[in-house]
Amino acid sequence: MKNQLKGILEEELKAIKALIDILEAQHELLVLQDVFKLEAITKDIDDCSRNLARAEGLRRSLIGKESIKKIVEEVDGKEITHIYDEMVKAINALVIQKETNELLIKQSLSYTNSMLAMISPKKEPVVYNGYGKIKR
């Protein structure tokens, strides 16, 4: 079980690092505002996410409902502990990169919507009520 767990954790770590690389590339494209390449990179993100989910499924089928942290402590292998620690660091970096990209996307969308609102006038005519106020 120890060797199987080590192999699965290595595969999972590799998938996490690949996803981080893709998210960093997405970040660059967001900064450069290259919409067409951004659309193309979503397929890479989906593929990498599937690989990560597959590796996690293998791990869960091996250890069952037990916590990975508990299993790593019980196995008492330096290599497995090292891989687990690297996974935790990589997951934290992954979350930070994902949140940064989401923030950039939301800011860009907000800016675009603001520009569209300024460019296109309201379609409704301005109508005053009986008190001389504009109806809304």
Render pLDDT for 18-47 as a digit per residue (tens, 0 to 9): 999 999 999 999 999 898 999 999 999 999
Each domain of the chain, given as residue ranges in start order, spans: 2-119
Look up residue 22 and give its two tokens: 């893709």
Q: 19 near 94, Cβ under 8 Å?
A: yes
**Surface-to-core class of residue 127, CB atoms within 10 Å of its CB (0-12 exposed, 13-18 middle, 19+ buried):** exposed
d(CA 63, CA 61): 6
Its CATH architecture, for the domain 2-119, is Up-down Bundle (1.20)
Distance of CA 47 to the CA centre of its chain: 13
Where does the pLDDT of residue 126 fall: very low under 50, low under 70, confident under 90, or very high at 90 and above? low
pTM confidence score: 0.81
Distance CA 109, CA 39 (A): 15
**pLDDT the model gives residue 84:** 93
